[in-house]
Amino acid sequence: FDNNYGIFAYMATGAKPMPTVNFTINFHKAVLEDTDKIWVTTRVISAGKRILSMAGEAKNANGDLIATCQTNMLNATGARISI
């Protein structure tokens, strides 16, 4: 999740830093040793002037939900967020 959130925040602000305010992961199913693919999707919940909120889901190749995640990032430089 962190890779998705970081890349999105980096691109949305024109390469300005956005420190993480909070980051919560909930695990719903084990990732077994024979798991060869995990699909992670990320979406923006809200993009305010100071806080960018995002959520994500991780699923295995069968479409089973493995984990969910939510984060809030601080727009510390006041950069315009382009979504």
pLDDT tens for each residue of 10-61: 888 888 889 999 999 999 999 888 888 999 999 999 998 899 999 999 999 9
Strands (E), the chain: 20-27, 38-47, 51-60, 65-74
* Half-sphere exposure at residue 75, Cβ-oriented, CA atoms within 13 angstroms: 19
Give the pTM. 0.85
Nearest C-alpha neighbor of 43 from the set 29, 58, 54, 34: 54
Confidence at residue 51, expressed as pLDDT on a 0 to 100 scale: 93
Q: What is the pLDDT of residues 69-78, one digit of tens each?
A: 999 999 988 8
Confidence at residue 19, expressed as pLDDT on a 0 to 100 scale: 93
Confidence at residue 13, expressed as pLDDT on a 0 to 100 scale: 87
